[in-house]
Amino acid sequence: MLFVKAVAMGFCIAAPVGAIGMLCIQRSLSRGFYSGFATGIGAACADAFYGLLGALGVAGIVTALPMLTVVLKAAGGAFLVWMAWTIARASSTAPAAVQETQRSPVARDFLTTFALTLSNPLTIFSFIAAFASLGPLPPMPGEQGAPGGFSMALMVTMVTGVFAGSAVWWLFLSGLTSALRTKLPLAFTRGISLFSAVAIAAFGVVQMVTGLARLA
Protein backbone atom coordinates (compact mmCIF):
# COMPACT_ATOMS: atom_id res chain seq x y z
CA MET A 1 0.00 0.00 0.00
CA LEU A 2 2.87 2.36 0.81
CA PHE A 3 4.42 1.73 -2.61
CA VAL A 4 1.11 2.55 -4.33
CA LYS A 5 0.86 5.81 -2.36
CA ALA A 6 4.43 6.71 -3.27
CA VAL A 7 3.74 5.99 -6.97
CA ALA A 8 0.70 8.27 -6.84
CA MET A 9 2.79 10.92 -5.10
CA GLY A 10 5.52 10.80 -7.76
CA PHE A 11 2.97 10.92 -10.56
CA CYS A 12 1.11 13.90 -9.09
CA ILE A 13 4.30 15.88 -8.42
CA ALA A 14 5.55 15.28 -11.99
CA ALA A 15 2.24 15.78 -13.82
CA PRO A 16 1.84 19.59 -13.68
CA VAL A 17 3.26 20.83 -16.98
CA GLY A 18 5.99 23.31 -16.19
CA ALA A 19 9.32 24.07 -17.80
CA ILE A 20 10.44 20.42 -17.77
CA GLY A 21 7.13 19.28 -19.23
CA MET A 22 7.40 21.80 -22.05
CA LEU A 23 10.98 20.69 -22.67
CA CYS A 24 9.88 17.04 -22.81
CA ILE A 25 7.14 17.90 -25.32
CA GLN A 26 9.49 19.97 -27.47
CA ARG A 27 12.17 17.28 -27.58
CA SER A 28 9.64 14.52 -28.25
CA LEU A 29 8.27 16.49 -31.21
CA SER A 30 11.61 17.52 -32.69
CA ARG A 31 13.79 14.49 -31.87
CA GLY A 32 11.45 11.61 -31.11
CA PHE A 33 10.44 9.38 -28.22
CA TYR A 34 13.87 8.47 -26.83
CA SER A 35 14.94 12.09 -26.47
CA GLY A 36 11.68 13.06 -24.78
CA PHE A 37 11.69 10.04 -22.47
CA ALA A 38 15.34 10.60 -21.51
CA THR A 39 14.37 14.16 -20.63
CA GLY A 40 11.58 12.89 -18.40
CA ILE A 41 13.71 10.20 -16.76
CA GLY A 42 16.23 12.89 -15.83
CA ALA A 43 13.46 14.70 -13.98
CA ALA A 44 12.25 11.44 -12.42
CA CYS A 45 15.73 10.68 -11.06
CA ALA A 46 15.98 14.17 -9.58
CA ASP A 47 12.52 13.73 -8.04
CA ALA A 48 13.65 10.43 -6.51
CA PHE A 49 16.79 12.09 -5.14
CA TYR A 50 14.79 14.88 -3.56
CA GLY A 51 12.30 12.30 -2.33
CA LEU A 52 15.15 10.55 -0.52
CA LEU A 53 16.27 13.84 1.03
CA GLY A 54 12.71 14.52 2.06
CA ALA A 55 12.42 11.09 3.66
CA LEU A 56 15.66 11.69 5.53
CA GLY A 57 14.37 15.06 6.68
CA VAL A 58 17.44 17.01 5.58
CA ALA A 59 15.50 19.95 4.17
CA GLY A 60 16.88 21.90 7.12
CA ILE A 61 20.17 22.10 5.24
CA VAL A 62 18.51 24.19 2.55
CA THR A 63 16.80 26.31 5.20
CA ALA A 64 20.09 26.85 7.02
CA LEU A 65 21.88 27.84 3.80
CA PRO A 66 19.51 30.28 2.04
CA MET A 67 22.26 31.44 -0.32
CA LEU A 68 22.43 27.92 -1.72
CA THR A 69 18.77 28.18 -2.73
CA VAL A 70 19.37 31.60 -4.32
CA VAL A 71 22.35 30.41 -6.35
CA LEU A 72 20.66 27.25 -7.55
CA LYS A 73 17.42 28.97 -8.52
CA ALA A 74 19.19 31.83 -10.32
CA ALA A 75 21.56 29.49 -12.16
CA GLY A 76 18.74 27.14 -13.12
CA GLY A 77 16.64 30.05 -14.37
CA ALA A 78 19.50 31.38 -16.49
CA PHE A 79 20.04 27.93 -17.96
CA LEU A 80 16.34 27.70 -18.83
CA VAL A 81 16.51 31.03 -20.66
CA TRP A 82 19.58 29.89 -22.61
CA MET A 83 17.89 26.61 -23.49
CA ALA A 84 14.76 28.47 -24.65
CA TRP A 85 16.91 30.62 -26.93
CA THR A 86 18.58 27.58 -28.51
CA ILE A 87 15.17 25.92 -29.05
CA ALA A 88 13.72 29.03 -30.68
CA ARG A 89 16.76 29.47 -32.92
CA ALA A 90 16.74 25.82 -34.02
CA SER A 91 13.00 25.74 -34.73
CA SER A 92 13.06 28.94 -36.78
CA THR A 93 16.20 28.33 -38.84
CA ALA A 94 16.62 24.58 -39.32
CA PRO A 95 15.21 23.15 -42.57
CA ALA A 96 12.63 20.39 -42.46
CA ALA A 97 15.05 17.63 -43.40
CA VAL A 98 17.40 18.60 -40.59
CA GLN A 99 14.57 18.84 -38.05
CA GLU A 100 13.41 15.36 -38.93
CA THR A 101 16.85 13.75 -38.64
CA GLN A 102 18.75 15.70 -36.01
CA ARG A 103 19.62 13.80 -32.87
CA SER A 104 21.48 14.53 -29.69
CA PRO A 105 22.86 11.95 -27.28
CA VAL A 106 20.11 10.85 -24.92
CA ALA A 107 22.67 11.03 -22.11
CA ARG A 108 22.88 14.78 -22.65
CA ASP A 109 19.09 15.08 -22.64
CA PHE A 110 19.02 13.14 -19.38
CA LEU A 111 21.79 15.13 -17.68
CA THR A 112 20.51 18.58 -18.63
CA THR A 113 17.05 17.80 -17.26
CA PHE A 114 18.47 16.17 -14.14
CA ALA A 115 20.50 19.32 -13.46
CA LEU A 116 17.55 21.61 -14.19
CA THR A 117 15.26 19.73 -11.82
CA LEU A 118 17.91 19.77 -9.10
CA SER A 119 18.19 23.55 -9.51
CA ASN A 120 14.98 23.93 -7.52
CA PRO A 121 15.82 22.64 -4.01
CA LEU A 122 12.42 23.77 -2.73
CA THR A 123 11.12 20.55 -4.29
CA ILE A 124 12.33 18.87 -1.11
CA PHE A 125 9.56 20.57 0.84
CA SER A 126 6.94 19.20 -1.54
CA PHE A 127 8.11 15.69 -0.70
CA ILE A 128 8.30 16.40 3.02
CA ALA A 129 4.69 17.60 2.95
CA ALA A 130 3.67 14.61 0.84
CA PHE A 131 5.47 12.12 3.09
CA ALA A 132 3.87 13.73 6.14
CA SER A 133 0.46 13.04 4.62
CA LEU A 134 1.28 9.32 4.63
CA GLY A 135 1.25 9.31 8.40
CA PRO A 136 3.85 7.89 10.81
CA LEU A 137 5.88 5.02 9.44
CA PRO A 138 7.62 3.08 12.23
CA PRO A 139 10.59 0.80 11.54
CA MET A 140 9.78 -2.70 10.40
CA PRO A 141 9.89 -5.47 13.04
CA GLY A 142 13.41 -6.65 13.75
CA GLU A 143 14.98 -3.78 11.80
CA GLN A 144 16.83 -0.82 13.22
CA GLY A 145 15.07 2.44 12.37
CA ALA A 146 16.61 4.91 10.00
CA PRO A 147 16.75 8.68 10.74
CA GLY A 148 13.36 10.23 11.27
CA GLY A 149 11.72 6.97 12.34
CA PHE A 150 11.82 5.38 8.89
CA SER A 151 13.33 1.99 8.27
CA MET A 152 15.71 1.64 5.36
CA ALA A 153 13.28 -0.70 3.61
CA LEU A 154 10.46 1.83 3.92
CA MET A 155 12.65 4.61 2.53
CA VAL A 156 13.67 2.47 -0.43
CA THR A 157 10.01 1.63 -1.03
CA MET A 158 8.98 5.29 -0.97
CA VAL A 159 11.82 6.53 -3.16
CA THR A 160 11.32 3.71 -5.65
CA GLY A 161 7.61 4.47 -5.75
CA VAL A 162 8.23 8.18 -6.33
CA PHE A 163 10.57 7.36 -9.21
CA ALA A 164 8.12 4.87 -10.72
CA GLY A 165 5.20 7.29 -10.54
CA SER A 166 7.22 10.10 -12.09
CA ALA A 167 8.57 7.78 -14.81
CA VAL A 168 5.05 6.62 -15.70
CA TRP A 169 4.00 10.22 -16.32
CA TRP A 170 7.04 10.95 -18.51
CA LEU A 171 6.53 7.72 -20.43
CA PHE A 172 2.94 8.74 -21.13
CA LEU A 173 3.79 12.32 -22.10
CA SER A 174 6.76 11.50 -24.35
CA GLY A 175 4.99 8.51 -25.90
CA LEU A 176 1.84 10.46 -26.73
CA THR A 177 3.74 13.45 -28.07
CA SER A 178 6.10 11.41 -30.24
CA ALA A 179 3.15 9.38 -31.58
CA LEU A 180 1.50 12.60 -32.76
CA ARG A 181 4.79 13.80 -34.23
CA THR A 182 4.30 12.11 -37.61
CA LYS A 183 0.67 13.21 -37.86
CA LEU A 184 1.29 16.92 -37.36
CA PRO A 185 2.35 19.34 -40.12
CA LEU A 186 5.83 20.82 -39.86
CA ALA A 187 4.46 24.34 -39.37
CA PHE A 188 2.46 23.16 -36.36
CA THR A 189 5.42 21.41 -34.74
CA ARG A 190 7.53 24.52 -35.30
CA GLY A 191 4.80 26.57 -33.66
CA ILE A 192 4.77 24.19 -30.68
CA SER A 193 8.56 24.48 -30.43
CA LEU A 194 8.39 28.29 -30.44
CA PHE A 195 5.60 28.25 -27.87
CA SER A 196 7.66 25.87 -25.73
CA ALA A 197 10.66 28.19 -26.03
CA VAL A 198 8.62 31.17 -24.87
CA ALA A 199 7.11 29.20 -21.98
CA ILE A 200 10.49 27.81 -20.90
CA ALA A 201 12.01 31.31 -21.04
CA ALA A 202 9.15 32.64 -18.93
CA PHE A 203 9.69 29.91 -16.35
CA GLY A 204 13.40 30.72 -16.34
CA VAL A 205 12.87 34.45 -15.84
CA VAL A 206 10.40 33.82 -13.02
CA GLN A 207 12.84 31.42 -11.36
CA MET A 208 15.69 33.94 -11.60
CA VAL A 209 13.53 36.79 -10.27
CA THR A 210 12.19 34.78 -7.35
CA GLY A 211 15.65 33.50 -6.54
CA LEU A 212 17.30 36.94 -6.63
CA ALA A 213 14.38 38.48 -4.75
CA ARG A 214 15.45 36.48 -1.72
CA LEU A 215 18.54 38.67 -1.56
CA ALA A 216 16.42 41.77 -0.92
What would the pLDDT profile of 156-181 be if each residue is shown by its tens digit?
A: 887 888 899 889 999 999 999 888 87
* Residue 183 DSSP label: T
Domain residue ranges of the chain, discontinuous segments joined by +: 2-10+18-213
Helix then strand then coil, in percent of the chain rounded to 5, is 80, 0, 20
For 80-120, the pLDDT digits (tens) are 787 778 777 766 654 443 344 455 688 999 999 998 888 77
**Is the predicted pLDDT of residue 146 greater than 50, yes or no?**
no
Pick from 38-52, 93-107, 114-128, 179-193: least confident: 93-107
- Is pTM beyond 0.85 here? no
Q: What is the DSSP letter of 146?
A: P
Cα separation, 164 vs 187, in Å, equals 35
